[in-house]
Structure 1
Amino acid sequence: MKAISKILVSLFPFLLFGQTPQTKEVNQQLQTWVSLNTVTKFSDHWGIVADVHVRENDFFESNNFYFLRGGITYIPNSSVSLTGGYAHMWLAPTKEGWSTYADENRIYQQAQLNTKIGKVGVIQRLRNEQRWQEKMANDEPTGEWRFTNRVRYLASFNIPVSSNKKWPSLVLSDEILIHFGKEVIYNTFDQNRLFIGIKQNINPNLSFDFGYMNVYQQKYSGYQYDMNHTIRLFFYLNTTIKHNVSEAPANSGDE
């Protein structure tokens, strides 16, 4: 457990990235985030990933975004997976009186490593995203797009609390997101996502995690931040469509 503590402690300083000398403005928000994340293997080493996400403000009071992602995954062994694909987001307007959603297109590549430290399962994921975000003005698309390249590193720890596999396990994770681009001047740091919750198996193929996620995001201005206190419920479905195909590795999906 000492090794886990050292790793977690080393992640928290990322929250300090991107600070500027200007007076910081932090917008506190409550959100609810629900998703289904799937991996479907069609051979021993190949599969399809597909995710759907909905994030709402407060308790489903108003929408924040809808998100769909798909891709092809190559699984050389039970510990490693390499994935690439396309994703699309519909981002709800934040200005009062606006009603038009902004589109975002993404191409992504990721590598994931599943290991263990004693009985603790560890997932490490490195994801690279090319993002085209639609610019809006007066509640209408301008026809212009903001391009950024975003790099994300996730470390997630699945900690058993009982030898009885029917009991939930404790999940601790942290993900740092940084991005680059012509318009990224004051906020190379994009956001940090810290999660604590439980993971419960429903059956051998279906599980979920539920808990609290703190999303700390810096705006393009450099001194404005969102602090999202998020209730998160993610479902994970791993299946095969061919007999005698090994089980897909654990998926750690998020937007």
Structure 2
Amino acid sequence: MKYIVVFLCSLITGFAIGQSPRKQVNDQSQSWFSLNSTFRLNSKWGLVGDIHVRRTNFMSDPNFYFVRAGGGYWFSNQLNFVAGYGHMWLAATKKGERIYLDENRLYGQLAYSSRLGKLSLLHRFRNEHRWRESVVADSLPNTTSFSTRLRYLISLTYPVFKNPSLPQACFANELLVQFGKPILNNTFDQLRLFAGIRQTLGKGWSYDFGYMMLYQQRASGYQYDRNHTLRLFFYYTMNRKTPAAPAPEYEDE
């Protein structure tokens, strides 16, 4: 009886493997640059905006260009809500030529920052509504589909040196999941891991620089991109009521 059970289990496992395509992981090198700004109009209201450029094959080829703007409400210096609009130009190929596919995006996010001893923490929840253009075939017009994406990010910053003007260690992890009619095999969208440094430059300016591993599932469900990314983000904060200071934010596309 034992051998029959083992045989049946092996048969079922083999059948399942035969029905499912083998997982494929494509490693890529990328670079990502951005400028992120926060303008505090008063203690409660403010404006935000950012510009992103990501390139693939390290810096050789375009991956996307992205701009975003929004308005924010600060419940306190630790808790804020931001909503706005973003537009992406995603590089693609059609009929052997490079084209750019449009994505229109509405988003809302809630961010909460806190301190635990010397450790600074940021939690961010973001909801995105996306209208994405895609290539069906070279001979057919492009199509546009709608989907929703939910994102949760946690970021940690720790001062390595006593001098606050010297770089601090920065770590972040973000999970992205998506839903909608065109999302059939890849509800899991991406996982983004970041490790690097963050430094205050003065007069409201700061930057973070480091390595990001971006692991993304494609629409097929069995193909994945593992992007090894060099990332350099600049931040600017203007506060009309108090001296300018870096915002406890972590922004990305």
* TM-score for both structures, normalised by structure 2: 0.88
Deviations 1:146-198 (A, max 9, x none): 11100000000001111111221101110000000011111110000000000
* Alignment partners' CA distance in 2, 1:181 and 1:142: 21
Tell me the SS of whatever aligns to 2:224.
Answer: strand
Aligned runs of 1:147-158 on 2, under 5 Å?
147-158=146-157
- Aligned residue number for residue 11 of structure 1: none
Which residue number in structure 2 is paired with residue 14 of structure 1? none
Contact 1:44 1:246 in 2 (8 A): no
Q: After the TM superposition, which residues 200-239 of structure 1 pair with which residues of structure 2 at under 5 Å, given as runs? A: 200-239=199-238
Q: Secondary structure at the match of 2:202?
A: coil
1:38/1:139 Cα in 2 relative to 1: closer, same or farther (>3 Å)?
farther
Q: d(CA) in 2 for partners of 1:213 and 1:247?
A: 25
* Residue in structure 2 matched with residue 41 of structure 1 by the alignment: 40
Q: Equivalent residue of 1:99, what SS? A: strand
Between 1 and 2, higher relative CO (CA 8 Å, sep ≥ 6) is seen in 1
C-alpha distance in structure 2 between counterparts of 1:156 and 1:244, whole Å: 25
Measure how far apart 1:137 and its partner are: 4.0
Alignment of 1:123-134 (within 5 A): 123-134=122-133
TM-superposed deviation, 1:95: 6.5
- SS at 2:92 equivalent: coil
The equivalent residue for 2:112 is 113
Larger-Rg structure: 2
Q: Using the alignment, how far apart are the partners of 1:57 and 1:102 within structure 2?
A: 16
AA matched with 1:128 = N
1:100–1:139 CA contact under 8 A, matched in 2: no
Aligned residues: 235
Kindly tell me: are residues 180 and 97 of structure 1, through their superposed partners in 2, closer, same or farther at Cα, counting changes over 3 Å?
same
Aligned to 1:144: 143
CA contact (8 A) 1:170 1:198 kept: yes
Q: Could you say what the CA RMSD is over the residues aligned between the two structures, in angstroms?
A: 2.0
SS at match of 2:141: strand
Please show how residues 1-80 of structure 1 align to structure 2 within 5 Å.
Answer: 21-80=20-79
Structure 1 vs Structure 2: percent identity of aligned residues? 43
Q: Aligned partner of 1:102: which letter?
A: L
Farther-moved stretch of structure 1 (214-223 vs 161-170): 161-170
Check 1:251–1:221 CA distance in 2 against 1; reply closer, same or farther (3 A cut): same
Q: Which runs of 5+ in 2 are unaligned?
A: 1-18
Instruction: Report if the CA contact (8 A) 2:205-2:246 is conserved.
Output: no
- String of CA shifts for 1:48-100, please: whole Å, max 9, x gaps: 00000000013321100000010001011110010000000000015682311
User: Mapping of 1:88-99 within 5 angstroms?
Assistant: 88-93=87-92, 97-99=96-98
8 Å contact 2:203–2:245 — kept in the other structure?
no
TM-superposed deviation, 1:227: 0.4
